[in-house]
Amino acid sequence: MEADHSGETADYIPELASADPDRLAVAICTEDGRLYSQGDSDVAFSIQSISKPFVYALALADRGFDAVMEKVSVEPSGDAFNEISFEAGTGRPLNPMINAGAIAAHTLAGPSGATPQERTSRIIDGLSAFAGRRLTVDSAVYESEIATAYRNRALANMLRANEIIEGEPLDAVTGYTRQCSLLVTVDDLALMAATLANRGVNPLTGAPVVPAEVVRQVLSVMATCGMYDGAGHWMTNVGIPAKSGVAGGVIGALPGQVGIATFSPRLDRHGNSVRGVDLFRRFTSEMGLHLMEVPPPGPSVVRGRRIVGTGDDAVQVVSLQGRIRFAGAERVLRELEDDPLTAKRVAISLARVATIGPVGRRMLLEALRRLTLDGHDVYLIDPDGVLPDPDPGDGGRVTVVAGHDDIVR
Ligand code: GLN
């Protein structure tokens, strides 16, 4: 890996062209905030396009989905990051990961009517909350990029002409370029990515940065558009929602598991870090991190049934286990229908259930309701309260107990 010297540092931003091309760093942050890093993890570099998903997240949180969608779509463009491309008819940028969409998203952070300075402050504060520490702008990188940002200025002018952004286009480019010049280390980026992996809550500081619905949207866009015209190969080979930046950073956020960041300045023709892409490939193959890799089926959600007690006291107990989402709950309903319970008194035991998702909850309550309507006395054994306030509604009745001893007197 260290021996791979292919690719070039970004040369259109002079300050980046002069970066030490042989730097290499990687950091992984778990969903509960434990950070592991290796190599040049204390070297700070500019965040560049890795800021885009985070600023998109802030825009969604601040303005709502409809207002943002009206200005920036979510279709992979298959174009290079700096392509001058807009959707026919609407004039919207195709997605917030290419520069056109990112400049538009920049103007949507903060409340409507915010001044350019207020907008940029909101973005620096927001990205700092993702990183769990105060981030600062590298003014040398900023000056170096803004001096020659003719292409981004062209994009901003087009956005203004298309009525996608309001105000002075140059303000949008200035703010966007500042956002791209924020200094980060791989440790910062891994924590920022872990915040996305952790439903928008910073796992180290515990701060809720953006709502979970926003994270779902951002990760979906990262998965389909994060690696530009390399996005399809990225998703099939690596399979982690990701974003790259021209200073050489790459982040990946694997929902519910980890945030990962790499840094190595030499770039491939898409503007993605050569060694970063290679490292991510290895994470997938050696650590099984591909999003679409489904673990082998675990034991059935329905652990078994048994009769506890005798005579009038007898209770037929159905024990469930694991995490119950749609497919697990479907299994419960199906088994109860295919092989109906026979005792008068029945209990569903959740003692070994870890979590129940919202859909699993609705379906389990429906199972309890049907059992009541079929004439059973229905108990729910729920010592850990994994199904709080179980009200099956509509004729359903259930008595919650901590164990079957509470039913069999
Ligand atoms: N600031 C850079 C630009 O706008 C960001 C590009 C990138 O990192 N891909 O060109």
pLDDT, tens only, 281-319? 998 889 989 999 888 888 899 999 999 988 888 999 999
Q: How confident is the model at residue 258 (pLDDT cuts 50, 70, 90)?
A: very high
Q: How confident is the model at residue 3 (pLDDT cuts 50, 70, 90)?
A: low
Closest CA to 380 of 350, 336, 340, 344: 350
Q: How confident is the model at residue 1 (pLDDT cuts 50, 70, 90)?
A: low
Report the predicted TM-score, pTM, of the whole model to 2 decimal places: 0.90
Closest CA to 397 of 374, 377, 367: 377
pLDDT reading at 2 higher than 70: no
C-alpha 358/C-alpha 338 separation (Å) is 24
Whether residue 194 has its Cβ less than 6 Å from ligand 1:
no
Query: How long is the chain?
Result: 409
DSSP 311: G
All domains of the chain in start order, with CATH: 14-287 (3.40.710.10), 302-406 (3.30.750.24)
Nearest CA to ligand 1 atom 6: 49
332 is in an annotated binding site: no
Would you state the pLDDT for residue 409? Answer: 63
36 is in an annotated binding site: no
Specify the ligand 1 atom closest to the Cα of 152. Answer: 4
Would you state the pLDDT for residue 244? Answer: 94
How far, CA to CA in Å, does 359 sit from each of 182, 197, 327, 372, 395? Answer: 41, 21, 10, 20, 20
C-alpha 160/C-alpha 182 separation (Å) is 25
Arithmetic mean of pLDDT, 229-248: 90
pLDDT digits (tens, 9 = 90+) for 120-158: 999 999 999 999 999 999 999 999 999 999 999 999 999
Specify the ligand 1 atom closest to the Cα of 81. Answer: 9
C-alpha 296/C-alpha 294 separation (Å) is 6
